[in-house]
Structure 1
Amino acid sequence: MNATAGDEQATADTKPKFKRMTLDTPPDLHGIFKKATVDAGTLMKDEVLMMLEARYRGGRWPEDVVQQVLAQVQRDADNAAAPAKSRGKGKG
């Protein structure tokens, strides 16, 4: 079956449209990001879009990001508790 001009137009209309964005990054951060995407077999563009989707559209964060955040929260909690524990030891 041949596609009609209307079918082709409908397909073209449903394709997502994108706006270009320029992001200035420090060279070392760019290199780290580039290496990580190459190692993961992903594109930098796709990684940025995934982060934007997660942050602003309620998309799902990748599991490695979730684990990094949980570890940071735990470190912050441990650091906040450490001074309080040491203050409590000196009093009696």
Structure 2
Amino acid sequence: MAEAAWEATWKLPPALCPLFVFLFFTSIYLTTLSLTALSVDRYLSAAFPVQYRQRRRAAHAAVAAAGSWAAALGHCSVVYVAQPGPAGN
């Protein structure tokens, strides 16, 4: 948003540009994955109320959350591997 307010130029230190992009897209991926996991959880609890309640564990939720974080961080880490654009971009 700051870039849009500054007429599409990056006025912050150059090191913050990839960090900003990384955090921006990571938050989008984490939100999407979290909502997907929540939807699957609610579907299973509505479709199979007795069986799902007996098999539901906090450890499964922790593994799903850790997997979501790992997937989002791994996918968005390409920002630091990719070549930066020309200076002043």
- For Structure 1 versus Structure 2, the TM-score category normalised by the shorter chain is 0.3 to 0.5
Q: TM-score, normalised by structure 2?
A: 0.38
Q: TM-score, normalised by structure 1?
A: 0.37
* Larger Rg computed on CA atoms: 1
